[in-house]
Amino acid sequence: MKEFTMNANEYLPLRDVVFNTLREAILRGDLEPGERLMEIALANRLGVSRTPIREAIRKLELEGLVVMIPRKGAHVASITKKDLQDVLEVRTSLEILAAKLACERMDDQQRENLYQALEHFKDVLKTKDVTAIAGADVDFHDVIFASTQNARLVQILNNLREQMYRYRLEYLKDFSSHERLLQEHRALAAAIEAKDQELAAAIVRAHIENQEISVIRHISQS
């Protein structure tokens, strides 16, 4: 177990603070895939009782970040090729739908927001801060999702995002992919502005396929 500390937040209940701390530790790799989560050890590390640790582990299991192994307890879920492909298969269909709807429904203000998000993403890439880049990437796609004017689609995409976050971070750790990612974002924004649904769909598909190839390569090497 690598070193990590609790992310104090006086506005959140202790159970949420513990959950957020453990979640970030898993996403950053401080708690590594396959590592056993010992309630007593984690409670001692964070200076809390076992109850919020146990609650956090249950929530992390629901997110797919933790797995319960019979007679062995809780472990950090591994990043597997099959899990990645399952998630991306769903994501591809949903994001293609979102891009096509955005071509039809995005208004002028949302279009301006999209290009602002694109510029912000470009600026954040220079920092090499993977967590910040992931946040800027989410912001860019959020503008597209919101422009669909389909609350149920946005809700499903947001739920899927939690399962995608670890894979997104793994992809962004490959700094050689950043320029291509920026170009894909630019191309997608242009296709949506031109209301070209088929081009937007093709860009989304290629965008996600490139991420799949990169993450699978990383998994194979680790």
CATH code at 57?
1.10.10.10
- From 34, 53, 76, give the residue that closes a domain: 76
| Structural domain for 145, as ranges | 81-221
pLDDT of 222 above 70: no
Q: Tell me: do 153 and 214 sit in the same domain.
A: yes
Q: Is the dihedral of CA 63, 135, 11, 42 positive or negative?
A: positive
CA distances 42 to 22, 37, 50, 90, Å, are 9, 7, 8, 34
**How far apart are the C-alpha atoms of 115 and 111, rounded to whole Å?**
6
Answer yes or no: is 86 within a domain: yes
Answer yes or no: is 6 within a domain: no
Q: Which pTM value belongs to this model?
A: 0.79
CA distances 51 to 22, 32, 57, 187, Å, are 14, 22, 10, 48
| 73 three-state secondary structure | strand
Which amino acid appears at position 39 of this protein?
A: E
Q: Which residue has the higher pLDDT, 194 or 159?
A: 194
Q: Tell me: do 89 and 72 sit in the same domain.
A: no
Residue 157 belongs to a domain with what CATH number? 1.20.120.530
pLDDT of 53 above 90: yes
So what's the pLDDT on residue 7? Answer: 74
